[in-house]
Amino acid sequence: MANVRTRELGVYLRARRDRLSPEDVGLPGGGGRRRVKGLRREEVAVLANVGCTWYTWLEQGRDVQPSREVLLGIAAALRLSRDERRHLLLLGGHPGAEQAPASERVDGQVQALLDQLAPSPAVAMTPWFAPVAYNAQFRFMVDDIESIPETDRNCAYLHFTHPDWIAGDADHERECAALVARLRAYQGESVTDPAWKPLLARLRADSPLFARLWGQADVATVSQKAKRVLSLHVGMLALRPLTMRLQDNPHTRVVVYQPDDHLTRERLAELTRRIAAGHLDGPAKVRRLRSVS
């Protein structure tokens, strides 16, 4: 029976093959209607210089343990980008593949760091975008994240399902496409973690947009491009996210949303004043999720 990694490798290969036409890779179209979407398996095998049967086994999720060189050949055949090639290698079980399982716990030192980054919103998240700690500015960056049921407080899930978070993106579909590409990249690093399956199943079930974007199999690491977020408390914010990994738990990422213009700096300062004065709903002091002192 295929394990999680080989099964995901097969799914990814099929999705990428479906996105290419013969013309994309310099092959004749063959004329008439093709019976398959995208490239045929034998076409990928020829381009990658591997046996068709062996490549078919990869797509079927069999445990055939492909070498790094073979996967690089397949990556070239499928015209993968650098991030997509790295994702393929991770799914194939090659260096840098996986570290220790992600932790949903952070210590008080991480919380203190997030608080000191104010007035910039800052959050520590798992690879599947569950916030494990955040400062008050992140809590109220859109609305009050603590007013949302804890089972729904996943930033990916909120982007696709929560009305305020959907309205908060100036270009919702573009932001969601970038988020899905990062989510898939992170999944490659921790694909055997059991937290992935229920989250992805729930997102597919609750969001047709997510299902469509996930099916495109795009992979990208973190973008540092500025994003516009509508805060229900202080208005539109132009933010540039900076992502850092914790040395003790590299799967945990700290994301700092830095102001990208003077107006945003003023609005974050105003948000901070309102939090300090207790003029927002709920207690001003931020709480940590699943964290320990």
- Tens of pLDDT along the chain (293 residues) come to 358 889 999 999 999 999 998 888 888 765 556 666 789 999 999 999 999 999 999 999 998 889 999 999 999 999 999 889 999 999 998 865 444 455 556 678 899 999 999 999 999 999 999 999 999 999 999 989 999 999 999 999 999 999 999 988 778 899 999 999 999 999 988 888 899 999 999 999 999 999 999 999 999 876 667 889 999 999 999 999 999 988 777 788 999 999 999 999 999 999 999 999 987 754 333 333 333 32
pLDDT score of 292: 30
**Backbone dihedral angles phi then psi of residue 234, each to the nearest 5 degrees:** -130, 5
- Is residue 147 in a domain? yes
Residue 292's contacts (CB-CB under 8 Å, 6 or more residues apart) are: 105, 106, 107, 108
Strand partners, 253: 125, 245
Number of H helices, E strands in the chain: 13, 5
pTM of the model: 0.78
Report helix, strand or coil for 75.
helix
Strand partners, 171: none
DSSP-based helix, strand, coil % in the chain, nearest 5: 50, 10, 40
Q: How many domains does the chain have?
A: 2
Residue 282 φ/ψ region, left for φ over 0, alpha for ψ in the -120 to 50 degree band, beta for the rest: left
d(CA 271, CA 234) in angstroms, rounded, equals 6
User: Both 225 and 161 in a single domain?
Assistant: yes
Report helix, strand or coil for 199.
helix
pLDDT score of 286: 35
User: Both 62 and 170 in a single domain?
Assistant: no
Is the sign of the CA dihedral 208, 213, 217, 221 positive or negative?
A: negative
- Is residue 282 in a domain? no
| 215 alpha-carbon distance from chain centroid | 14
CATH code for position 43: 1.10.260.40
User: Both 134 and 244 in a single domain?
Assistant: yes
Helices (H), the chain: 4-18, 41-48, 52-59, 68-77, 82-91, 108-116, 136-139, 155-161, 163-168, 172-189, 196-206, 208-215, 262-277
pLDDT score of 2: 54
Q: At what angle do helices 52-59 and 41-48 cross, to 10 degrees?
A: 120
Q: Measured between alpha carbons, how far is residue 241 from residues 40, 123, 186, 236, 278 in Å?
A: 40, 11, 17, 15, 27
Provide the domain limits for residue 56.
4-91
Q: What is the number of alpha carbons within 13 Å of residue 87 lying toward its C-beta?
A: 27
Q: What is the CA angle 281-162-257, rounded to 5? A: 70
User: Both 53 and 184 in a single domain?
Assistant: no
CATH code for position 145: 3.30.450.180
Beta strands 227-231 and 122-125 are: unpaired
User: Both 151 and 234 in a single domain?
Assistant: yes
d(CA 15, CA 34) in angstroms, rounded, equals 17
User: Both 44 and 113 in a single domain?
Assistant: no
User: Both 159 and 243 in a single domain?
Assistant: yes
pLDDT score of 123: 97
